[in-house]
Amino acid sequence: MTVSPTSGAQALTDVLDRIARAAKAAGRQASDVTLVAVSKQQPWDAVAPILAGGQRVFGENRVQEAMERWGERRAGVELRLIGPLQSNKAKEAVAFFDVIESLDREKLAVALASEIQRQGRAPRLYAQINTGEEPQKAGVVPAQADSFLAAVRGTHGLEIEGLMCIPPVGEPPGPHFALLGKIAARNGISRLSMGMSDDFETAIAFGATSVRVGSALFGARTK
Ligand SMILES: *Cc1c(COP(=O)(O)O)cnc(C)c1O
């Protein structure tokens, strides 16, 4: 399926409008919310119109796929890794991404700290919190979030820019967004990556500073 440039540009305008309206309704500025366009699994035909429309922040969930898609088109684009990261890919991830949103265990913190030291390049980092305590999902459970953040910042010397969560499918997301905000506030963290195509307006009402939107921008993923 090909996506016409017009519909891609229109989808971007629509999502940005919805972000602005949700921010305003929450008494916030639209500029306080960053749109992360989740281009994972999309053909370049679908991504190109969004890039041409002025979007510059993109999210990918796999290191290899992101490098293939963006390697030659990297200039002027901010790339965020939003999918699980294996420690043995820390080297590539530190070299390639501007932001890594899926820091979820100390072993990975060790690997990232060592690569950041070695490469002299430090992606901004988000700790992923498994607010729904789902066994199949990555992220630190809420009860261990404070000690995890203390270890990552203290023992491993990493700066944490924000927290990220993916609420359970089929549950109202509001309480999960509220919980993420609470964990962030008590740990002195001001950035919250939360909200996807189906719930980004709710996330903005709960204080999201970035929303990760895929299908509402690009259409359904092909895989
Ligand atoms: C795929 C994905 C998204 C985007 O999901 P949509 O429902 O298509 O907007 C956001 N965040 C993460 C972590 C994802 O893996």
- 3-state SS, the chain, equals CCCCHHHHHHHHHHHHHHHHHHHHHCCCCHHHCEEEEECCCCCHHHHHHHHHCCCCEEEECCHHHHHHHHHHHCCCCEEEECCCCCHHHHHHHHHHCCEEEEECCHHHHHHHHHHHHHHCCCCEEEEEECCCCCCCCCCECHHHHHHHHHHHHCCCCCCCCEEECCCCCCCCCHHHHHHHHHHHHHCCCCEEECCCCCCHHHHHHCCCCEEEECHHHHCCCCC
> Does position 5 have pLDDT exceeding 70, yes or no?
no
* Pick from 20, 96, 40, 76: nearest CA to 214: 40
- Is the distance from the beta carbon of residue 114 to the nearest atom of ligand 1 less than 6 Å? no
Mutating to test ligand 1, I would choose from 61, 80, 104, 130 the residue with most ligand atoms within 8 A of its C-beta, which is 61
- Is the distance from the beta carbon of residue 38 to the nearest atom of ligand 1 less than 6 Å? yes
In degrees, to the nearest 5, what angle opens at C-alpha 109 toward C-alphas 145 and 95?
Answer: 135
Whole-angstrom distance, CA of residue 190 vs CA of residue 159: 13
Query: How is residue 119 written in tokens?
Result: 């490469």
Whole-angstrom distance, CA of residue 165 vs CA of residue 125: 13
Q: At what angle do helices 106-119 and 142-153 cross, to 10 degrees?
A: 30
pLDDT-derived band at 77, boundaries 50, 70, 90: very high
Mutating to test ligand 1, I would choose from 14, 35, 38 the residue with most ligand atoms within 8 A of its C-beta, which is 38
> Does position 1 have pLDDT exceeding 70, yes or no?
no
* 56-68 average pLDDT score: 97
Residue 204, Cβ neighbours under 10 Å: how many? 29
Q: Tens digits of per-residue pLDDT, 102-123?
A: 999 999 999 999 999 999 999 9
Whole-angstrom distance, CA of residue 12 vs CA of residue 166: 22
- Cα pseudo-dihedral 87, 141, 214, 10, rounded to 10: -130
* 208-223 average pLDDT score: 90
- Is the distance from the beta carbon of residue 61 to the nearest atom of ligand 1 less than 6 Å? yes
pLDDT given at position 220: 81
pLDDT-derived band at 171, boundaries 50, 70, 90: very high
Task: Tell me the average pLDDT of the chain.
Answer: 95
> Does position 49 have pLDDT exceeding 90, yes or no?
yes
Q: Tens digits of per-residue pLDDT, 141-162?
A: 999 999 999 999 999 999 999 9
**More confident: 5 or 62:** 62
- % of residues, the chain, pLDDT over 90: 94
Query: How is residue 174 written in tokens?
Result: 């509001």
- Is the distance from the beta carbon of residue 214 to the nearest atom of ligand 1 less than 6 Å? yes
Å from CA of 113 to ligand 1 middle: 27
Q: What does R_g of the chain's alpha carbons equal in angstroms?
A: 17
> Does position 2 have pLDDT exceeding 90, yes or no?
no
pLDDT-derived band at 221, boundaries 50, 70, 90: confident
